[in-house]
């Protein structure tokens, strides 16, 4: 029992809602959170849509001092962490509880860097706030969560691009098993909806330009997909050893069984086209979690809605799961939220945990025209009720970083 790790609390701010329950309601109802960008005027850019967190008022979640000091990413992380801690049955502070923090990100701080650069270029560098440098650092969301909750155990932040959020769960699991803490606040965050980011995505030809129909723009595995939709958000978990959770009578959503990492070693942008090394990560995750391919009920796909990624992922699933692949539900939440980058893998973890808890698998929306090279059961358009005992979350990052996390029911 001492190496069994469970999820006991959830927190989320996503394009579908400013708490985990609204996010889950949006996922299961097949609602899109993709809209025209409001954080800046996107009129001059080819892509003008994103998955934004809407109606977020930082002052509702933290002090005025924190609002002034913290980046948007840190603000989202604090709010999600507070929700997760409350959901787990803890108080407003973790003082006196042996707690660690792992909040990963990929490009958070981007907005602060762009703002400061504009001030320098305009000759107005004296207006750069003293908080600029620390607030823009990738580790600051994790540190802000620790400061806010009074946490004095290990605090860590890793960047694995789009696999960052998923890896946070594996890092947290290792900390708990190694005895570094009794409780870990873990997850992913991203907030980088800026003109420079979108100009860069357009330069890569990576983003959908379906500006007239934002809700239909992200179409994972659909033959008519034409690029990813960039998003933002924070998804945070409270994780504990099973023995610790049971001793305090905590609710349990799911067990984090284990996972694995591999590298494509192929490209800084494109996946290895055969899916060979993503498949290897899936196989290793199954082995480490003591699961067989036939055990898996659902896979939360990375499903970016790009031609190359969706085909490589389909191939990887078929290689890893063999003949079982056709009987496994494969769902792609990015069809509703867009790509939350550093928080994307954490959102996939939330979907896996709640599918196990509720027996509901969210759909892949906008899947209307099958791609002959993508031939799995993508749970098209409508959520499905089905008992879920074991689930996998796939996360693949720029540079070829593959991270797979396995979840199970108790």
Q: Report residue 276 as tokens.
A: 């060979």
Q: For the CA atoms of 93, 94, 95, 96, what is the dihedral angle to 10 degrees? A: 140
The DSSP call for residue 272 is P
* Residue 386 near residue 248 (C-beta atoms within 8 A): no
Tell me how far apart the alpha carbons of residues 308 and 267 are, in angstroms, rounded to a whole number.
12
Question: Distance from CA of residue 318 to its chain's centroid?
Answer: 23
Catalytic residue among 162, 218, 374, 403: 162
CB atoms inside a 10 Å sphere around CB 290 = 11
- 61, 143, 218, 339: which is the annotated catalytic residue? 339
Nearest in space to 354 (alpha carbons), one of 327, 336, 333: 333
Q: Which two tokens stand for residue 124?
A: 């107005």
Residue 162 is among the residues annotated as catalytic for this protein: yes
Which one is catalytic: 61, 143, 244, 302?
A: 302
Residue 38, classified by CB atoms within 10 Å of its CB into exposed (0-12), middle (13-18) or buried (19+), is exposed
Dist. CA 41–CA 44, nearest whole Å: 8
- Measured between alpha carbons, how far is 271 from 230 in angstroms, rounded to an integer? 18
Q: Is 205 a catalytic residue?
A: no
Active site residue 300: no
Active site residues: 162, 302, 339
């Amino acid at each position: 029992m001492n190496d069994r790790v469970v999820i006991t609390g959830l927190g989320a701010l996503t394009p579908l809602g400013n708490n985990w329950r609204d996010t889950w309601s949006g996922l299961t109802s097949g609602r899109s959170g993709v809209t025209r960008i409001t954080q800046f005027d996107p009129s001059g850019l080819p892509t003008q849509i994103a998955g934004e967190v809407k109606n977020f008022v930082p002052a509702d979640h933290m002090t005025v001092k924190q609002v002034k000091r913290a980046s948007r990413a840190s603000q989202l992380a604090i709010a999600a962490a507070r929700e997760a801690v409350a959901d787990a049955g803890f108080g407003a502070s973790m003082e006196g509880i042996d707690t660690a923090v792992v909040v990963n990100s990929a490009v958070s701080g981007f907005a602060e860097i762009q703002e400061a650069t504009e001030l320098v270029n305009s000759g107005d560098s004296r207006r750069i706030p003293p908080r600029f440098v620390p607030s823009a650092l990738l580790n600051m969301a994790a540190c802000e969560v620790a400061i806010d909750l009074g946490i004095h155990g290990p605090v860590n932040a890793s960047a694995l691009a789009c696999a960052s959020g998923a890896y946070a769960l594996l890092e947290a699991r290792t900390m708990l098993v190694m005895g570094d803490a009794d409780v870990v606040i873990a997850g992913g965050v991203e907030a980088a909806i800026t003109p420079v980011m979108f100009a860069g995505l357009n330069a890569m030809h990576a983003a959908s330009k379906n500006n007239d129909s934002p809700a239909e723009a992200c179409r994972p595995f659909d033959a008519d997909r034409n690029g990813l939709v960039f998003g933002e958000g924070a998804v945070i978990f409270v994780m504990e050893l099973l023995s610790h959770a049971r001793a305090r009578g905590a609710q349990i959503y799911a067990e984090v069984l284990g996972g694995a990492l591999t590298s494509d070693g192929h490209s800084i942008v494109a996946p290895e086209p055969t899916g060979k090394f993503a498949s290897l990560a899936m196989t290793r995750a199954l082995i480490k979690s003591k699961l067989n391919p036939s055990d898996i009920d659902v896979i939360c796909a990375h499903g970016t809605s790009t031609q190359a990624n969706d085909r490589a992922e389909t191939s990887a699933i078929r290689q890893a799961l063999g003949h079982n692949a056709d009987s496994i539900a494969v769902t792609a939440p990015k069809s509703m939220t867009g790509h939350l980058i550093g928080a994307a893998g954490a959102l996939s973890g939330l979907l896996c945990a709640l599918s196990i808890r509720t027996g509901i698998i969210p759909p892949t929306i906008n899947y209307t025209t099958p791609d002959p090279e993508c031939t799995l059961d993508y749970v098209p358009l409508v959520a499905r009720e089905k008992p879920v005992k074991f689930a996998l979350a796939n996360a693949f990052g720029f540079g070829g970083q593959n991270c797979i996390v396995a979840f199970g029911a108790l």
